[in-house]
A and B are shown apart, each in its own frame.
Chain A
Amino acid sequence: MPSAEPHKQRRGLVAIDGAMALIAIILIVQMWLLSATLETYLAGHTGAVVPAALFSGLLFSGCLALNLFVDRVDRGTWHS
Chain B
Amino acid sequence: MTFFRNPSKEPLWKEEFSVLASDERYVTRRQFTKFLTLASLGMFVGNLWILLRSRFARARQFSSVKIAQVGEIPVRGVKLFTYPTPQDHCIMVRTGDDEYVAYSQKCTHLSCAVYYSAENDRLECPCHRGFFSIKDGSVLQGPPPRPLPQVTLVRDGSKLLATGVKGT
Contact = CB atoms under 8 A, between A and B. Distances in A.
Interface in A5-39: 9, 12-13, 16-17, 19-20, 23-24, 26-27, 30-31, 33-34, 37-39
Contact of B41 (A24, A53, A60): A60
Interface residues of A, number: 42
Given A1-B20, A67-B34, A70-B29, A23 B40 contact: yes
A44 B25 CA distance: 47
Contact of A20 (B22, B29, B41, B50): B29
Looking at chain B's contact residues, is the secondary structure mostly helix, strand, loop, or mixed?
helix
Given A16-B33, A20-B32, A37-B50, A59 B26 contact: no
Given A68-B1, A70-B33, A78-B26, A1 B44 contact: no
Contact of A43 (B37, B40, B43, B145): B145
Contacts of B145: 39, 43
Looking at chain A's contact residues, is the secondary structure mostly helix, strand, loop, or mixed?
helix
Interface of A: 1, 3, 9, 12-13, 16-17, 19-20, 23-24, 26-27, 30-31, 33-34, 37-39, 41, 43-44, 46, 49-50, 52-53, 56-57, 59-60, 63-64, 66-68, 70-71, 74, 77-78
